[in-house]
Structure 1
């Protein structure tokens, strides 16, 4: 499993799938990009271009394993009946967790960067339950990580009816009923050297995770970076950002480095899960 260490903390990339971006061409998704910029990004991340010249994405979550506990960032695209119908279903997150030696019951925190369906698919899953009337099996919902707190920004929770109103009943209410949903208001500490950082713009309550030890740090970016062109040119707007200017400021804040420091980014959708920044 691809992984990287920051001090005593291991960050593991958990592959969930690979597939095409179906909504528009990459050029239409980033209308401000120039041909020279596309040529540069194709040299940097040539795996993001499929055989037909389309945009190919990887889908992944990340596990953060430290002496203080085990955190998972994002919950992938989900099983065959997941709502992320535009993605390559079913996702492979359970197999990736097993390959990393992680049982879902070991996870004590799940950070949901935002409420787009390719990031929450395995958070809550259907299970077969027996009805109280004894009439046979019925479909229920339960959290995939049964012992974890699920961390979400309050701004994202409040925006659910704008983002996807169906998630209120299929995700948020089951987590609330189980006592597992924890709402955050901005930056917050996690276990050990990790912390949540509010990075709004892609969605109103988008958040990222930073792991830092001395001069070394890593950021799990969620959809603050959906394509390598945003890593090379962070000021480029993306048409599916709800607030493009706010997203640009969040990217610049998260990717800011000091002299002598070493920063890695852990990305959900780029071909390589871990990239050193600045690039080159």
Structure 2
């Protein structure tokens, strides 16, 4: 039986915080605007069909989130089970990048293949990951888990544009981190583009406002151009990585309206 090439895509909101606009937009003072509060939500994404379940990122854990003052709404493994997902049956976990809020629960998936850009893995296991401007966004314990999974031959490294499975493509864009990935998912009537942290907020794209934490600024701008290209045609849906607007743009999952939305 041929694998179904269309999927359902969900965004799951597991955490939140309130911060200031000057903390999230690079060189915010250049825009001549008064600083003001802004919400930041934390998500992971589920891509599934009758054959497989793929999780895109897996959130922060209670220790790393608590240490940074983040509000945990529902621990990601618990959120998955609430939505009928057994982490033990997840086939792939796509790590879009290795920041603490995206790889904090890798040990919850005992059999999944872990998929990450080779450039991303090389950076976080290389000599510059410990520099303060990078290290503050990562957790040594999480990177140690990633290293262990590599040693156990459970990590697949990708480069450029890769088909993960029919209907799911990974595109390496860099920018926010050296190997930041975007995930494109073929759903029944649409193409869903999960930007993850290639686009934290929709206004980054609308107003050309890069996020504050960036490894390669020209690559981040090029990533914005790619996201525009990917979503220019009708039936293309763009999902930002941390924008509270995600919970309003898409359809709430019945019974779990504050936890998850169905993108397509």
The answer to whether the superposition gives a TM-score over 0.5 is yes
Cα shift readout 1:141-190 (whole Å, capped 9, x = no counterpart): xx211111111111111111424482575222221233211111221112
In the alignment, is residue 243 of structure 1 matched against residue 216 of structure 2? yes
Report how far residue 255 of structure 1 moved.
Answer: 2.4
C-alpha separation between the residues in 1 aligned to 2:209 and 2:192?
A: 22
Q: Alpha carbons of 1:196 and 1:28: their partners in 2 closer, same or farther (altered >3 Å)?
A: closer
**RCO comparison, higher one (Cα < 8 Å, 6+):** 2
What is aligned with 2:63? 81
What is aligned with 1:195? 169
Report how far residue 32 of structure 1 moved.
Answer: 4.4
Runs of 4+ more than 6 Å apart: none
Q: Alpha carbons of 1:221 and 1:84: their partners in 2 closer, same or farther (altered >3 Å)?
A: farther
| Residue 95 of structure 2, aligned match among 103, 108, 112 | 112
Count of equivalent residues: 234
C-alpha separation between the residues in 2 aligned to 1:249 and 1:169?
A: 27
What is aligned with 1:159? 123
Query: Cα RMSD (Å) of the superposition?
Result: 2.9
C-alpha separation between the residues in 2 aligned to 1:149 and 1:71?
A: 10
Whose radius of gyration is greater, 1 or 2? 1
Q: Alpha carbons of 1:19 and 1:147: their partners in 2 closer, same or farther (altered >3 Å)?
A: same
C-alpha separation between the residues in 2 aligned to 1:263 and 1:54?
A: 30
| Residue 261 of structure 1, aligned match among 219, 228, 234 | 234
Asked if the contact 1:22/1:86 (under 8 Å) is kept, the reply is no
Q: Secondary structure at the match of 2:14?
A: strand
C-alpha separation between the residues in 1 aligned to 2:188 and 2:233?
A: 11
Structure 2, gaps ≥5 residues long? 251-264
Structure 1, gaps ≥5 residues long? 1-6, 39-51, 124-142
What is aligned with 1:136? none
Q: Secondary structure at the match of 2:64?
A: coil
C-alpha separation between the residues in 1 aligned to 2:230 and 2:147?
A: 39
Q: Secondary structure at the match of 2:150?
A: helix
Q: Structure 1-normalised TM-score?
A: 0.73
Asked if the contact 1:29/1:238 (under 8 Å) is kept, the reply is no
